[in-house]
């Protein structure tokens, strides 16, 4: 056994990278779970190709999983990894330029053969030609050591090689002083019916740990102390799982059955998977034949007095637009979850983007207003989904929840809420109504509105005395009969818009954080830009940089003090992963010269680029003031 120095660090970023078939997502997920159990705060970013299986050993097939963890609040998965685990030359070539100078690169040396290097255009072996001189390179024969550890197992060579990701996990777990117990428990559960596979994976995992413990290649091990967090029970959660739980909570607190009509689409499918396993909580899931059928089934469920929900991504939103218009016209509660991805068309199905905002706000024919909410982090997807349910039910109106691939697939610790503290939602379904007028006509008016919310009665079919017309044709205000009257259409159109506007009573004011109290610059974000913007601002606040931060959760309606906040600052900068969609809206609505910063790379903003942006604007404002 070799004695190793143990070095304490405050935060560190690790990236696992290899072929799509190398199990990098599973490896990263297991390391994340171990990190969360240890008590670190963390954020993750799975990043994988859209091809089902790209050619082995090529750049197109590289799959990554990155996480950053620390002893303090972590807002992003990190920009430059401190440790890169590269399972082949393609993974090294795709990622080495992003590793922090002085960082560690751990490679499977067995994969660096001439054929693999030639495939990637390497003239020389990068492990020996000096090109990696800025890093600590650890060439570990992972494949051969895995095969040696599994020599006695009755498995094919190919099956044994599949366990090398567990060898890598064992090695990295040793490097960061993590226990193997939780991963062993996971493997025991996963392969309970395949004892040979279970034993092989555990043996490979332990072999990786033992190699780290006994080799002299690593002079230092690392420890990251647990983060100081609010007392409570925590679990690691992805945004998609948090969204599913938030939807269930919304239905539960309303006393309604949740009915999901959905069609599988990346990166939203995991919400369907999660909800399909929660039937015991009065959840019904229907995997429909297409996107249109999915939202149609959900809207039909709402008509029947259930909480209808449909989930999708950008391409599916296009197909669902006509049924969204029907939901607006029929004034029924409906929650539409859009886990955004890179577009247009099929675009970048496994990469992230924030480019569906204008579609969410305006992507329907006619004046068809809907409420729009955007979650800001994986754990926040729970609260955002619950709020979407509450607004949809209270106002009898469709609500769109925007997340994205970064949030949906990413994860962070989530404190389990006390259900009793989550406000109940009152569906206030219409009760039996048997009154008639002098002519014998029912006096139930399906479009008689609540004076506060403008919501119409939610009349479940089959309830005595609540028979009414439903459909896409315009209805007369009050009676709900079909009407082509121009004045009535004008009134009904304005009422539907006003109903969304009145939701502002249920949303908080836009909050501004300005520690210096002297900021002339406001950085305003929405959705998943929260993480990098917050991390950048917090870094600069430590140096006394005068910058203020605000973040929009509600995009329609906007918080009632939005205009006042924007006009308070000499300059407002809005970073977003699109070509300036929110900036356009704010300029038009408030006539403020919003400075737009855009990115459509399929990746979230990096913290340093936000820091540089802030510093440039602060310096420019200071120079402008001096000239004045």
Task: Output the DSSP codes for 298-316.
Answer: HHHHHHTTSEEEEEE-HHH
Tokens standing for residue 324: 């969204």
Residue range 371-419, pLDDT digits in tens: 999 999 999 999 999 999 999 999 999 999 999 999 999 999 999 999 9
Q: Is 1 a residue whose pLDDT tops 60?
A: no
CA distances from 87 to 108, 211, 441, 484 (A): 5, 16, 75, 67
Residue range 304-347, pLDDT digits in tens: 999 999 999 999 999 999 999 999 999 999 999 999 999 999 99
Would you state the pLDDT for residue 56? Answer: 84
Residue 556 near residue 586 (C-beta atoms within 8 A)? no
Would you state the pLDDT for residue 54? Answer: 77
Would you state the pLDDT for residue 20? Answer: 85
Would you state the pLDDT for residue 14? Answer: 98
Distance in angstroms (rounded) separating the CA atoms of residues 260 and 101: 48
Select from 550, 542, 552, 551 the least CA-distant residue to 516: 542
**Average pLDDT of 225-236?**
93
Residue range 290-304, pLDDT digits in tens: 999 999 999 999 999
List all residues 6 or more positions away from 33 whose beta carbon is below 8 Å from its beta carbon.
182, 183, 186, 236
Would you state the pLDDT for residue 41? Answer: 96
CA distances from 129 to 133, 190, 273, 420, 591 (A): 9, 42, 47, 62, 58
List all residues 6 or more positions away from 146 whose beta carbon is below 8 Å from its beta carbon.
160, 161, 163, 164, 166, 167, 204, 207
Would you state the pLDDT for residue 439? Answer: 74
Residue 244 near residue 275 (C-beta atoms within 8 A)? yes
List all residues 6 or more positions away from 494 whose beta carbon is below 8 Å from its beta carbon.
none
Q: Is 552 a residue whose pLDDT tops 90?
A: yes
Bridge partners for 403 per DSSP: 339
**Average pLDDT of 502-527?**
97
Q: What is the DSSP letter of 191?
A: T
pTM here?
A: 0.95
Per-residue pLDDT band for 57 (boundaries 50, 70, 90) equals: confident
Per-residue pLDDT band for 628 (boundaries 50, 70, 90) equals: low
List all residues 6 or more positions away from 141 whose beta carbon is below 8 Å from its beta carbon.
108, 109, 110
Q: Is 625 a residue whose pLDDT tops 70?
A: no
**Average pLDDT of 506-525?**
96
- Look up the CATH architecture of domain 235-421: 3-Layer(aba) Sandwich (3.40)
522: part of which helix (H) or strand (E)? strand 521-526
Residue range 447-501, pLDDT digits in tens: 999 999 999 999 999 998 898 888 999 999 999 999 999 999 999 999 999 999 9
Would you state the pLDDT for residue 199? Answer: 93
Say which range, 48-52, 122-126, 198-202, has the weakest mean pLDDT: 48-52
Count other Cβ atoms within 10 Å, centred on residue 365.
Answer: 9
Strands 62-70 and 11-19: antiparallel
Bridge partners for 402 per DSSP: 338, 374
Strands 11-19 and 83-86: parallel
List all residues 6 or more positions away from 626 whose beta carbon is below 8 Å from its beta carbon.
none
User: How many Cα atoms within 13 Å fall on the side-chain side of residue 336?
Assistant: 36
Class of domain 512-627: alpha beta
Would you state the pLDDT for residue 219? Answer: 81
Would you state the pLDDT for residue 627? Answer: 60
- Map residue 554 onto helix, strand or coil: strand
- Give me the percent of the chain exceeding a pLDDT of 70: 98
Domain residue extents for the chain: 5-224, 235-421, 512-627
The two domains 5-224 and 512-627 share their CATH topology (first three levels equal): no
Select from 312, 286, 223, 300 the least CA-distant residue to 12: 223
**Average pLDDT of 211-227?**
90
Per-residue pLDDT band for 626 (boundaries 50, 70, 90) equals: low
Sheet containing strand 398-404, edge to edge, reads: 283-287, 258-262, 307-312, 334-340, 398-404, 371-374, 554-556
Distance in angstroms (rounded) separating the CA atoms of residues 44 and 64: 11
**Average pLDDT of 82-107?**
96
Would you state the pLDDT for residue 432? Answer: 86
CATH of domain 5-224: 3.40.920.10
Would you state the pLDDT for residue 546? Answer: 97
- Give me the percent of the chain exceeding a pLDDT of 90: 90
Q: Is 367 a residue whose pLDDT tops 60?
A: yes
């Amino acid at each position: 056994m070799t004695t190793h120095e143990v070095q304490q660090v405050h935060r560190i970023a690790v990236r696992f990278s290899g072929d799509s078939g190398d199990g990098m997502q599973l490896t990263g997920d297991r390391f994340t779970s171990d990190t969360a159990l240890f008590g670190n705060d963390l954020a993750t970013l799975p990043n994988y190709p859209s091809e089902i299986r790209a050619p082995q050993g090529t750049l197109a097939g590289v799959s990554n999983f990155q996480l950053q963890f620390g002893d303090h609040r972590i807002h992003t998965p990190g920009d430059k990894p401190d440790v890169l685990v590269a399972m082949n030359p393609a993974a090294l070539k795709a990622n080495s330029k992003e590793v922090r100078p002085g960082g560690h690169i751990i490679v499977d040396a067995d994969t660096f053969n001439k054929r693999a290097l030639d495939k990637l255009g390497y003239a020389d072996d990068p492990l020996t030609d000096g090109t990696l001189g800025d890093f600590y390179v650890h060439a570990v024969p992972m494949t051969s050591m895995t095969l040696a550890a599994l020599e006695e197992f009755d498995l094919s060579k190919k099956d044994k090689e599949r366990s090398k990701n567990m060898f890598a996990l064992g090695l990295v777990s040793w490097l960061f002083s993590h226990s193997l117990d939780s991963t062993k428990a996971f493997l025991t559960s996963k392969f309970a019916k395949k004892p040979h596979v279970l034993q092989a994976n555990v043996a490979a995992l332990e072999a990786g740990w033992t190699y780290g413990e006994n080799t002299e290649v690593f002079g230092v091990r690392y420890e990251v102390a647990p983060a100081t967090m609010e007392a409570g029970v925590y679990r690691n959660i992805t945004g998609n799982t948090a969204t599913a739980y938030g939807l269930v909570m919304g239905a539960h607190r309303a006393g309604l059955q949740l009915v999901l009509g959905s069609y599988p689409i990346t990166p939203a499918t995991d919400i369907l998977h999660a909800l399909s396993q929660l039937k015991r909580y009065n959840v019904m899931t229907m995997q429909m034949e297409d996107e249109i059928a999915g939202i149609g089934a959900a809207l039909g469920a709402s008509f029947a007095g259930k909480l209808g929900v449909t989930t999708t991504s950008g391409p599916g939103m296009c197909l669902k637009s006509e049924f969204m218009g029907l939901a607006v016209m029929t004034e029924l509660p409906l929650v539409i979850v859009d886990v955004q991805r890179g577009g247009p068309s099929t675009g970048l199905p496994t990469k992230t983007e924030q480019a569906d905002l204008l579609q969410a706000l305006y992507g329907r024919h006619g004046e068809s207003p809907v409420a729009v909410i955007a979650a800001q982090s994986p754990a926040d997807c729970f609260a955002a989904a619950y709020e979407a349910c509450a607004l949809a039910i209270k106002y009898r109106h469709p609500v769109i929840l925007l997340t994205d691939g970064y949030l949906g697939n990413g994860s962070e610790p989530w404190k389990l809420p006390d259900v009793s503290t989550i406000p109940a939602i009152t569906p206030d379904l219409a009760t039996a109504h048997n009154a008639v007028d002098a002519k014998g006509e029912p006096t139930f008016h399906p479009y008689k509105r609540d004076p506060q919310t403008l919501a119409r009665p939610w009349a479940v079919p089959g309830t005595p005395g609540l028979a009414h017309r439903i459909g896409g044709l315009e209805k007369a205000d009050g009676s709900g009969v079909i009407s082509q009257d121009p004045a009535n259409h004008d009134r009904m159109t304005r009422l539907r818009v006003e109903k969304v506007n009145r939701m502002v009573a249920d949303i908080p004011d836009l909050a501004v954080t300005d520690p210096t109290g002297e900021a002339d610059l406001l950085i305003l974000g929405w959705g998943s830009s929260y993480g990098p913007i917050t991390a950048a601002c917090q870094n600069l606040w430590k140096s006394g940089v005068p910058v203020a931060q605000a973040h929009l959760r509600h995009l329609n309606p906007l918080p009632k003090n939005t205009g006042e906040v924007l006009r308070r600052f000499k300059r407002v900068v809005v970073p977003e992963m699109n070509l300036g969609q929110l900036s356009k809206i704010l300029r038009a609505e408030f006539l403020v010269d919003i400075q737009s910063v855009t990115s459509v790379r399929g990746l979230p903003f990096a913290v340093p680029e936000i820091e540089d942006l802030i510093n440039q604007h602060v310096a420019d404002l200071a120079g402008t003031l001096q000239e004045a």
